[in-house]
Amino acid sequence: MAVFTEVTPADAQSLLDTLHLGELVELRGIQGGIENTNYFLTSSQDGVHHEWVLTLFERLTQEQLPFYLDLMHHLAAAGVPVPDPVADPHGRHLLSLCDKPAALVNKLSGSSQLSPSPVHCSQVGRTLAQMHLVAKEYAGTQPNLRGLAWWQAVVPDVLAHIGGAQAELLTAELAYQTHIHQSSAYAALPRGPVHADLFRDNVMFDGTTLTGVFDFYFAGVDTWLFDLAVCINDWCADLESGKLAMDRLEALLKAYESIRPLTSAERELFNPMLRSAAMRFWTSRLWDFHLPREASMLQPHDPKRFENVLRERIHAPFTFDLLTTTA
């Protein structure tokens, strides 16, 4: 959530006029993230203030974006706590501002929980399972744009900037994941639209109550297990070492399986998908770190974190007998 495109108050007011949302009160750039331009926007209508998040999309195209925005609307309409994109007078969720595709969504209440407890993880697990089942009925389709094909395309560029043990690990893991993705067990994994980026800073809480999930702009059709693995590698791991926190992991898995039990194929490939999720974010963070784009407020994430996660999943693989009870 950096600022690549500067939006003026006049630009923002023009958008509010188009959407019949009243007068601009405040426009403030959001620091953090690396993909899109984001602002907090406050409007006033009939004496009532409304808070929004304005996003200008810097990489995603006009053709790709309806998948994300319509998915969010589909989930919101089914009662899943996600931002609901505002539609223009023609019923389209995809807007335009400053010659960029854009979206305006309601700002969720609460704040991110960056030091989660098992209680927080339980709510995340339950919500993720609900999202998977509701999204299964969504008619839109689009592949995970940061999946295996993307790794295969960008790893050669990344390898030009690293060496030694890092290059050996990245090359070996790409070969391993290519093999896993070609297996019959992988083909048997349940799949559908997934969030694919459900990190701690993309979920809001009011105390211990989950109030919403946001930032769906890495979503795509992929395996549900990959989505779960992305979530676990962040919510249930030590941020420095990458080691799993079993109390949080057990709480998240138990809650997830109370809504959607894992299949035998998912249990078989659980640790390989934890490695897959680590590979995805290590690769993208290496790419952003070594091949950055210019942007106001841009702060690339440290790639080392997910290198540590990947090494930990290789050398201390997760098995279900590590849990104190069956998830």
Q: Cα dihedral sign for 217, 222, 225, 229?
A: negative
Residue 183 CB neighbour total at 10 angstroms: 14
Tell me which residue of 116, 161, 55 sits closest to 251, measured CA to CA: 116
**What is the secondary structure of 231-269 as a DSSP string?**
HHHHHTB-TTT--B-HHHHHHHHHHHHHHSPPPHHHHHT
Residue 325's pLDDT band, with cuts at 50, 70 and 90, is low
Cα torsion 24, 8, 299, 84: sign: positive
Overall average pLDDT of the 154-168 stretch: 95
* pLDDT value at residue 260: 98
Tens-place pLDDT, residues 4-53: 899 999 999 999 999 999 999 999 999 765 679 999 999 999 999 999 99
DSSP, res 143: B
Confidence category of residue 324, pLDDT binned at 50, 70, 90: confident
Question: Measured between alpha carbons, how far is residue 33 from residues 29, 50, 169 in Å?
Answer: 12, 24, 26
Q: What is the pLDDT of residues 164-207, one digit of tens each?
A: 999 999 999 999 999 999 999 999 999 999 999 999 999 999 99
One-letter amino acid at 98 equals C
Tell me: the pLDDT tens digits for 50-72?
999 999 999 899 999 999 999 99
Whether domain 118-322 has CATH 3.60.15.10: no
Q: Give the pLDDT confidence score for residue 297 in this predicted structure.
A: 43
Encode 109-124: b = buried (16+ Cβ within 10 Å), e = exposed: eeeebeebebbbbbbb
Instruction: Region of 33 please: left (phi>0), alpha (psi -120 to 50) or beta.
Output: left
Q: What pLDDT is recorded for position 293?
A: 63
Residue boundaries of the structural domains of the chain: 9-106, 118-322
**Averaged pLDDT for residues 247-255:** 98
At 292 the pLDDT is 79
pLDDT given for residue 4 in this prediction: 85
Q: For residue 274, give the amino acid letter.
A: L
* pLDDT for residue 190: 98
Residue 1: pLDDT band with limits 50, 70, 90: very low
pLDDT in tens, 277-317: 999 999 999 999 988 765 444 566 889 999 999 999 999 99
User: Where do we find the tokens 């509701």?
Assistant: 134
pLDDT at 52: 98
Q: Report pLDDT for 296.
A: 44
Q: Which residues of 200-237 are buried (b: 16+ CB within 10 A; e: fewer)?
A: bbbbbbeeeebebbbbbbbbbbbbbbbbbbbbbbbbbb
pLDDT digits (tens, 9 = 90+) for 219-238: 999 999 999 999 999 999 99
- pLDDT above 60 (res 108): yes
* DSSP string computed for 85-127: BPP-TTS-S-EEETTEEEEEEEPPSSB--SS--HHHHHHHHHH
The fold for domain 9-106 equals Phosphorylase Kinase; domain 1 (3.30.200)
Residue type (1 letter), 13:
Q
